[in-house]
A and B are shown apart, each in its own frame.
Chain A
Amino acid sequence: GESVGLHLPTLSVQEGDNSIINCAYSNSASDYFIWYKQESGKGPQFIIDIRSNMDKRQGQRVTVLLNKTVKHLSLQIAATQPGDSAVYFCAENMRGGSQGNLIFGKGTKLSVKP
């Protein structure tokens, strides 16, 4: 299940199950969104992106869904594996203002139980 508190929100799933990581973004003018995976001791690694003219985009074992009405982004990971354990960040690119700057969400820690 998911827990939110003083620490990083954590999602714990069984190996082989599907994972869904959620993100609420802040600006309705944002037109580009990215999911990053950050493993311990590493930098953020690009997973998948989506532009605001799309609702869904699929990659290898991952799907990103965008709901602009409620400013919500989700990352679905199919058949979660132990190697998927990491912190996942969503990021938005706001049109206008400081274009090209990414605004990162707080992050969710995914733990995969064998």
Chain B
Amino acid sequence: DTEVTQTPKHLVMGMTNKKSLKCEQHMGHRAMYWYKQKAKKPPELMFVYSYEKLSINESVPSRFSPECPNSSLLNLHLHALQPEDSALYLCASSQVWGLSQPQHFGDGTRLSIL
């Protein structure tokens, strides 16, 4: 079982819907990440939060809006998505950002845009 929990596991939404993906970890990690993964491809970094502050935005479209309410939680708010946004969205965490250490991943939310 992963120590990073993501909900929901699956999400189907229309292009006009607003939904949120949630991620939670209780390992005391102070860095949290969102990745997007298309089929048969490696994960691609979207956002990095360090001590609850947004540190990196990899030129992600504004229809994706991250939020870090506290050190254990990370959200990704979705609005007006496009069919090409269908993918597996992965959350990860690490002790701190900027050091050589593994990131621990959740099992992702499989998102389908109709």
- Where the two chains meet, the residues of A that have a C-beta atom closer than 8 Å to any C-beta of B are 7-8, 31-32, 34, 36, 41-46, 49, 51, 89, 93, 98-102, 104-107
Q: A43-B105, A43-B106 are in contact. Are A93 and B100 (CB under 8 A)?
A: yes
In the complex, chain B residues whose CB is within 8 Å of the CB of A32: 100-101
Residues 1-26 of B contacting A (Cβ, < 8 Å): 2, 4, 6
In the bound assembly, the distance between CA atoms of A89 and B92 in angstroms comes to 15
Q: How far is the CB of B25 from chain A (nearest CB, A)?
A: 12
Number of residue pairs A-B, CB distance < 8 angstroms: 58
B contacts with A: majority SS:
loop
Does B61 interact with chain A (Cβ within 8 Å)? no
In the complex, chain B residues whose CB is within 8 Å of the CB of A102: 45, 103
In the bound assembly, the distance between CA atoms of A7 and B6 in angstroms comes to 28
The 3 closest A-B pairs by CB, nearest first: A32-B100, A104-B42, A43-B105
In the bound assembly, the distance between CA atoms of A43 and B102 in angstroms comes to 14
Residue of B nearest to A87 (CB): B40
